[in-house]
């Protein structure tokens, strides 16, 4: 009977676990849909921004970057996960960062967005200059520390280049570790970014053949356009990574729920076998006792 009680207790525990993982799966599914909606809205903003760039292309070349380099240091923004239960999302990106930057380890500063990589990078001996925590439903004002740090660093020429690493959300089952150079602007990175978003756009095509009046000056307009593009790339990377975080957690919870169902079935079968054996043994003892008495 002790075995029956143990198996029954395990079945109850696994049933409770199944309820929890099912609830977490539902929560992640709802949050995933919200992140996908944000990503679509941001994509519409990108199309408007590309339309402006297309009409300015004959006057302004955003990829002709004049830098003021004072050091050989690089700045890397790393977009991580807010919580665990989606480790594959972080591990693939970590391997990419280590493999691509192992030779410049001493010349790299990291800016960590969300917290799960803060301890990992610190223990690995990397320099983390800043970290920030964002809510799932973050707004533009929550990103002000990120933008302010970047703009101040570029204004003083503290870094020769700036990249952002994140997980690109292509679909619910596909995770692509990605990175983009946001300073100085590189056309190949920008084209790769548009390709990942499945946006077909040629900045040099269909340019309006009209005289453009740029106010107040071309330099100020160019600086503002570049600032907006950098901000867009950062926000887009954060939303893409957050969408995949929810998708990864949803898949993990679904797998845990399915495994719980299978385990409950196996434990129920084991419970029935033990109970059947126990009943058979009791009947056998009764029959043996009856035969002994009759003899």
CATH number at residue 260: 1.10.287.80
Name the token pair of 19: 């309820």
- Residues 168 and 100 reside in one and the same domain: yes
Q: How many CB atoms lie within 10 A of CB 81?
A: 23
CA distance 247 to 255: 12
Is the per-residue pLDDT at 157 higher than 80? yes
Q: Which of 232, 249, 266 is the last residue of a domain?
A: 249
**Mean pLDDT value across residues 203-219:** 63
**Domain that includes residue 129, residue range:** 41-249
Cβ 163 vs Cβ 77: under 8 Å: yes
Torsion, Cα 213 216 222 227, to 10 degrees, reads -130
CATH code where residue 151 lies: 3.40.1380.10
Q: What percent of the chain has pLDDT over 70?
A: 87
Alpha helical stretches, state H, 143-197:
144-155, 187-196
Whether residues 49 and 140 fall in one domain: yes
pLDDT at residue 16, rounded to an integer? 92
| β strands within the chain, DSSP E | 74-79, 108-113, 127-132, 161-171, 174-183
Query: Per-residue pLDDT tens for 76-99?
Result: 998 887 766 666 667 777 788 878
Per-residue model confidence (pLDDT) at position 258: 92
pLDDT, one tens digit per residue, over 246-275 is 888 888 888 889 999 999 999 999 888 888
pTM of the model: 0.77
Shared domain for 106 and 158, answered yes or no, is: yes
Provide the angle, in degrees to the nearest 10, between the axes of the packed helices 2-56 and 218-294: 170
Residue 258 lies in a domain: yes
Q: Is residue 35 part of a domain?
A: no
pLDDT of residue 265: 92
- One domain for residues 154 and 119: yes
96 assigned to some structural domain = yes
255 and 185 housed in the same domain? no
pLDDT of 58 over the 70 cut: no
Are residues 100 and 241 located together in one domain of the fold?
A: yes
Query: What is the overall mean pLDDT for the chain?
Result: 80
Q: Is the domain of 185 the same as that of 259?
A: no
Statement to judge: residues 57 and 76 lie in one domain: yes
Count: domains in the chain: 2
User: Between 129 and 44, whose confidence is greater?
Assistant: 129
Do 197 and 233 contact (CB within 8 A), yes or no?
Answer: no
The C-alpha atoms of residue 33 and residue 246 are separated, in whole angstroms, by: 9
Q: Is residue 36 part of a domain?
A: no
């Amino acid at each position: 009977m002790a075995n029956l009680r143990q198996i029954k207790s395990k079945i109850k525990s696994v049933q409770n676990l199944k309820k929890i993982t099912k609830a977490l799966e539902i929560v992640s599914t709802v949050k995933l849909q919200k992140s996908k909606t944000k990503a679509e809205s941001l994509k519409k903003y990108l199309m408007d921004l590309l339309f402006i760039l297309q009409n300015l292309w004959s006057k302004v070349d955003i990829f002709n970057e004049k830098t003021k380099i004072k050091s050989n240091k690089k700045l890397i923004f790393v977009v991580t996960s807010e919580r665990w239960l989606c480790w594959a999302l972080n591990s693939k990106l970590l391997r990419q960062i280590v493999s691509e930057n192992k030779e410049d380890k001493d010349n790299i500063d990291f800016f960590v967005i969300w917290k799960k990589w803060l301890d990992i990078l610190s223990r690995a001996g990397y320099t983390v200059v800043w970290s920030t925590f964002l809510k799932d439903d973050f707004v533009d004002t929550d990103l002000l520390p990120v933008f302010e740090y970047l703009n101040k660093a570029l204004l003083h020429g503290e870094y020769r280049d700036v990249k952002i690493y994140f997980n690109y959300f292509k679909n619910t089952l596909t995770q692509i570790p990605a990175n983009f150079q946001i300073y100085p602007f590189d056309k190949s990175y920008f084209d790769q970014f548009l390709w990942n978003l499945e946006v077909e756009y040629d900045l040099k095509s269909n340019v309006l053949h009209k005289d453009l009046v740029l106010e107040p000056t071309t330099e100020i307009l160019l600086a503002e356009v570049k600032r907006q593009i950098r901000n867009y790339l950062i926000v887009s990377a954060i939303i893409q990574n957050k969408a995949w975080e929810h998708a990864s957690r949803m898949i993990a919870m679904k797998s845990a729920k399915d495994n719980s169902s299978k385990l409950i079935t196996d434990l129920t079968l084991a419970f029935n076998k033990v109970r059947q054996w126990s009943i058979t043994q009791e009947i056998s003892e009764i029959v043996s006792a009856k035969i002994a008495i009759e003899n």
